[in-house]
Amino acid sequence: MSPPPPPVPGAAPAAEAPSAYAVPQDVRLWDIFVTFLFIGAVSFGGGVVAYLRASLVLKRGWLDEEHFLSALEIAQALPGLNATNMSIIVGDRLRGVAGSIVAFTGMTLPGGSMVLALGVAYAANAHNPYVNAALVGVGAAAVGMLSAVTLQIGHKQLGQMLNVAIIAATVLMVSFLHISLVWVLLTVGPVAVFLFRPRKGDSGEGEGEAS
Amino acid sequence: MNENLSVLGVFSLLSILAVGGGAAVLPETKALVVGTHHWLTDDQFRDIYGLGQVVPGPNMLMVIVIGYHVTGFLGALMAFVGFFLPAGAISWAASRVWDHFEGSPWRRSLQQGLAPLVVGLMASGTISIARTAIDGRLTIIIAFAVFAGVYCVKKINPALLVLGGGLVGLALLSGTGAGMPPN
Nearest to A188 by CA among A161, A172, A166, A206: A166
Query: Is residue A164 located within the same domain as residue A110?
Result: no
- Alpha-carbon distance of B107 to A70, in angstroms, equals 10
In tens, the pLDDT along B148-169 reads 988 887 667 777 788 888 899 8
Does A100 share its domain with A174? Answer: no
The pLDDT assigned to A15 comes to 43
Residue B57 touches partner A, C-beta closer than 8 Å: yes
Whether the CB of B115 is below 8 Å from some CB of chain A: the reply is yes
Output the pLDDT for position A3: 46
pLDDT (0 to 100) of residue A46: 56
**Are the beta carbons of B137 and A92 closer than 8 angstroms?**
no
The answer, for B164 touching chain A at a CB cutoff of 8 Å, is: yes
- Mean pLDDT for the stretch of residues A91-115: 94
Question: Is A142 a domain residue?
Answer: no
A132 in a structural domain: no
For residue B139, count other CB atoms closer than 10 A to its CB. 24
**Mutation site for A-interface testing, chosen from B16, B95, B161 by largest number of A Cβ within 10 Å:** B95
Counted domains in chain B? 1
Contact B170 A47 (CB under 8 A): no
Higher-scoring residue by pLDDT: B60, A6: B60
d(CA A8, CA B6) in angstroms, rounded, equals 46
φ and ψ at residue B19, rounded to 5 degrees: -80, 130
- What three-state secondary structure class fits A79? strand
**B40 falls within a domain:** yes
Chain B residues with beta carbon closer than 8 angstroms to that of A46: 22-23, 53, 59
Answer with the one of A94, A116, A138 that is the final residue of a domain: A116
**Closest to A181 in 3D by CA, of B25, B139, B75:** B25
Rounded to two decimals, the ipTM of the complex is 0.79
A7 inside domain: no
Containing structural domain, residue A36: 20-116
Looking at the fold, whether A171 and A107 belong to one and the same domain comes out as no
Question: What pLDDT is attached to residue B126?
Answer: 82
CB proximity B120 to A under 8 Å: yes
- The reply to whether A83 and A164 lie within a common domain is no
List of residues 6+ apart from A10 with CB closer than 8 A: A61
B88 within domain boundaries: yes
Is A53 inside a domain boundary?
yes
A137 has pLDDT over 70 = yes
Residue A148 burial by Cβ neighbours in a 10 Å radius (0-12, 13-18, 19+): buried
Contacts A162 to B, Cβ<8 Å? 116
- Residue B141 inside a domain? The answer is no
Helix (H, G, I), strand (E, B) or coil at A177: coil
Q: How far is CA A160 from CA A12, A163, B20, B40, in A?
A: 30, 6, 21, 43
Residues A24 and A105 in one domain: yes
Are residues A32 and A90 part of one domain? yes
Which residues in chain B touch residue A174, judged by CB atoms under 8 angstroms apart? 24, 120-121, 124
Same domain, A104 and A24: yes
Instruction: Give B74's contacts (C-beta < 8 A, 6+ positions apart).
Output: B4
Residues of A in contact with B56 (CB under 8 A): 40-44, 110-111, 114
Helix H segments across chain A? 29-42, 48-52, 65-77, 82-124, 129-154, 161-171, 181-195
A54 within a domain of the structure (yes/no): yes
Helix, strand, or coil (residue B126): helix
Whether B80 shows a pLDDT value over 70: the answer reads yes
CA atoms within 13 A of residue B168's CA, in its CB half-sphere: 21
B100 touches chain A (CB under 8 A): no
Q: Does any domain span residue B124?
A: no
Q: How many domains does chain A have?
A: 2
- d(CA A136, CA B142) in angstroms, rounded, equals 10
Closest C-alpha to A132, from A119, A122, A142: A122
In angstroms, rounded to a whole number, what is the distance separating the alpha carbons of residues A34 and A39? 9
Which residue type does A182 have?
A: V
Work out the mean pLDDT of chain A and round it to a whole number.
Answer: 81
Contact indicator for A89, A74 with CB cutoff of 8 Å = yes
Is B65 inside a domain boundary?
yes
Residue A87 belongs to some domain of the structure: yes
Q: Print the domain residue range for B23.
A: 3-104
Residues A106 and A50 in one domain: yes
Pairs across A and B, CB distance < 8 A? 392
Mutate to test the interface with A, among B28, B112, B144, B172 (most CBs of A within 10 A): B112
Tell whether A137 is covered by a domain.
Answer: no
Over 50: is that where the pLDDT of A57 sits? yes
Does residue A56 fall inside a structural domain?
A: yes
Among B19, B65, B115, beta carbon nearest to A73:
B115
| Domain annotation covers residue B109 | no
